[in-house]
Amino acid sequence: MAKLRPRIETTLDKARVIFDGDRELRAAILERRELVGLLRDAEQPDAPREGRPGGAAVGLPAPRDQRKQLLKTAVRLTPALAPRLWKQIDHCRKVLGVTAPMDVFVMQDAQLNAFVVPPEDGRLVLGITSATIEKLSDGELASVIGHELGHVLFDHFELYPLLSFQGDERLAPVDAMRVYAWMRYAELTADRVGLLCCDDYGVALAAEFKIASGLCDPRQVGDLREAATQFTALAAEELEASDQDWFATHPYSPLRIRALDLFHQSTTYHKLRGDQTGGKLSEAALEREVAAIMELMNPACLSERAPCRAELREFLALGALEVAAADGRVKEAELQAARRICSEGQLAESVDQVMAWSGKKRGERLRELAEPLTVHLSGLRRRKLLEDLCVIALADKKVDDSERRVLARLAELLEVDSMGIDAALGRMENPLD
């Protein structure tokens, strides 16, 4: 019998708040029997434990043993010790109708960060750095706290253990891509909860900017609403082609801002606030537009809307084989990943047949495929395609010089700056925002 997931009671209408992509992609992942088996294995005492609390932006859930570490290394904050922080916590709990007991720990750290850990015995645990408490306004704290509580209420811990199996042949890199895509979707759901708690789009925007950039001094920060307006006014295809990177630590920040702005404009958001007539976007329009935006962040092999889809998937499959064969020893995990990609693409030949091609023949076909891709795909799409190939390179948890050289050659074919390879590999080795 499957182990029941712990749930925290809330009065929040979760069915309305959740981004459809969060719910649908999670369900698709949980339909895969082999992935459910990995999740079951992760519950075992000797299961691999990797990952860390959420990174530079308001983060993903931390591993289960983090609570024990907090008890040893952090200071537990009571309402008497931190009345201002607890005022915002109580406000968020009231907005969300959460009555579960809660522990709050502060770590001495100059970085702005906060995270949650899986509830134990119905008790919530929030970790927050000293800089976050000291540098954010009351409303910004409410946005951060709400975001973290959103991860708990929607049980975003459920799939997180799958990432500890990266490099294990049982988790194909393509499935890892799906988990990463879901993690991004989960962030949008948590962002919505954060906005509901602070109830001010400008404040939620300021909180995200400060945490991602580290800039908190009003002398250094201009009009964030104006900057957001520039992003939210862009059409999807214009946004895709943009090379702007507002927060620097996250290349897709404009997409996240756009998604939050759409939620802010929706009838869904206004009804959740008790306003039955406000908002100009219907629920259907909201989810449709956010899904179109998030499609730009999806791995190339998962995209249903990308131009030149057949050529894109074939390039990805052949590129995956090139990366796998870079060191002259194709590992089973890498071969399995390539087979998975090829089965979803348009390759006429089987993986084994393509592997029998000469390196020259594979190179010629890759050059042929690159021509339409460089014409019809934006720079962002091509960088994303290269990032997907980086996942293949990480199938065995390490990337050697020969694999980096192949990735650099593929980047040249796609007319993408190869300097982005190290950044892409770094993001995959750590939890995403």
Please report the pLDDT score of residue 45 as a whole number. 60
Q: Is-contact 417 386, C-beta < 8 A?
A: no
Q: Which of 276, 301, 326 is the last residue of a domain?
A: 301
User: Do 132 and 229 lie in a common domain?
Assistant: no
For residue 150, being part of any structural domain is answered with yes
Please report the pLDDT score of residue 14 as a whole number. 97
For residue 246, being part of any structural domain is answered with yes
Q: Is-contact 122 100, C-beta < 8 A?
A: yes
User: Do 241 and 271 lie in a common domain?
Assistant: yes
User: Do 331 and 381 lie in a common domain?
Assistant: yes
pTM of the model: 0.79
For residue 199, being part of any structural domain is answered with no
Judged by DSSP in three states, 234 sits in coil
For residue 210, being part of any structural domain is answered with no
- Give CA torsion, residues 310, 316, 322, 326, to 10 deg: 180
Please report the pLDDT score of residue 401 as a whole number. 83
Q: Is-contact 337 173, C-beta < 8 A?
A: yes
Q: Which of 264, 283, 301 is the last residue of a domain?
A: 301
Domain count, the chain: 3
Structural domain for 223, as ranges: 215-301
Q: What's the CA gap between 263 and 132, in Å, rounded?
A: 25
Helical (H) or strand (E) element with 294: helix 283-295
Q: Which of 251, 274, 301 is the last residue of a domain?
A: 301
User: Do 37 and 174 lie in a common domain?
Assistant: yes
Please report the pLDDT score of residue 143 as a whole number. 97
Structure token digits, residue 234? 């862009």
**In a structure prediction context, what are the per-residue pLDDT tens digits for the chain, which is 433 residues long?**
345 677 899 999 999 999 999 999 999 999 988 899 999 888 776 655 443 333 334 554 544 566 677 877 889 999 999 999 999 999 999 999 999 999 999 999 999 999 998 888 889 999 999 999 999 999 999 999 999 999 999 999 899 888 778 667 677 767 877 888 888 899 999 999 999 999 999 899 889 888 877 877 776 666 666 666 665 665 555 555 444 443 433 446 777 888 999 999 999 999 999 999 999 999 999 999 998 888 777 766 566 666 777 788 788 878 878 887 787 776 666 666 666 665 554 454 566 677 778 888 888 999 999 999 998 887 777 887 887 777 666 665 667 788 888 889 999 999 988 776 776 666 555 433 3
User: Do 181 and 119 lie in a common domain?
Assistant: yes
Beta partners for residue 200, in sequence order: none
Please report the pLDDT score of residue 160 as a whole number. 84
- The residues near 19 (Cβ < 8 Å, ≥ 6 apart) are 185, 188, 189, 192, 259, 287, 290, 294
DSSP 266: B
User: Do 38 and 159 lie in a common domain?
Assistant: yes
User: Do 134 and 80 lie in a common domain?
Assistant: yes
- Burial code (b: 16+ CB inside 10 Å, e: under 16) for 45-74 equals eeeeeebebbbbbbbbbbbbebbebbeeeb
For residue 2, being part of any structural domain is answered with no
For residue 9, being part of any structural domain is answered with no
User: Do 26 and 73 lie in a common domain?
Assistant: yes
Q: Which amino acid appears at position 387 of this protein?
A: E
User: Do 65 and 187 lie in a common domain?
Assistant: yes
For residue 200, being part of any structural domain is answered with no
Helical (H) or strand (E) element with 105: strand 102-107
User: Do 170 and 241 lie in a common domain?
Assistant: no
User: Do 134 and 103 lie in a common domain?
Assistant: yes
Q: Kindly report the CATH number assigned to the domain that includes residue 420.
A: 1.10.3680.10
For residue 289, being part of any structural domain is answered with yes
Query: Is residue 373 exposed (0-12), middle (13-18) or buried (19+ Cβ within 10 Å)?
Result: buried
User: Do 57 and 186 lie in a common domain?
Assistant: yes
